[in-house]
Amino acid sequence: QVQLVESGGGSVQPGGSLRLSCEASGIIFYINAMGWYRQSPGSEREQVAMVSSGGAINYADSVKGRFTISRDNAKNTVSLQMNRMKPEDTAVYYCVASGVRRELGQMGYDYWGQGTQVTVSS
């Protein structure tokens, strides 16, 4: 079984910074993409940032220029540095590992973390 463990959530004032980290553990041969989604009350889960195994990065328009995603393929970790945070960034943030293969030739599966709360408020 593959597990994703997130850390780094919490509360911050507008304009402040937080860093989220996520580690995938278990028998892992390859992870296609890793990244972060978020969901606020009454809203659908939305993609925040994703990074491929080759380093290609996609950001949601709402976080471009403020958030930075990074990944360590050797350690199966992904981090999200969030700067100049806004109240609208308040949400539960979920780590995702997409296209995970436990051995060569196996079909890839997606795995999700349990989520970590991020609150931006004065």
Residues contacting residue 94 through CB under 8 Å, at least 6 positions apart: 6, 36, 37, 38, 39, 45, 112, 113, 114, 115
The two tokens of residue 106 are: 């196996």
Q: 86-118 pLDDT, tens per residue?
A: 999 999 999 999 999 998 888 899 999 999 999
Q: 7-31 pLDDT, tens per residue?
A: 999 999 999 999 999 999 999 999 9
Confidence of residue 1 (pLDDT cuts 50, 70, 90): confident
User: 13 by DSSP, 3-state: which?
Assistant: coil
Q: In which element (H, E) is residue 72 found?
A: strand 67-72
Cβ atoms of residues 79 and 50 within 8 Å:
no
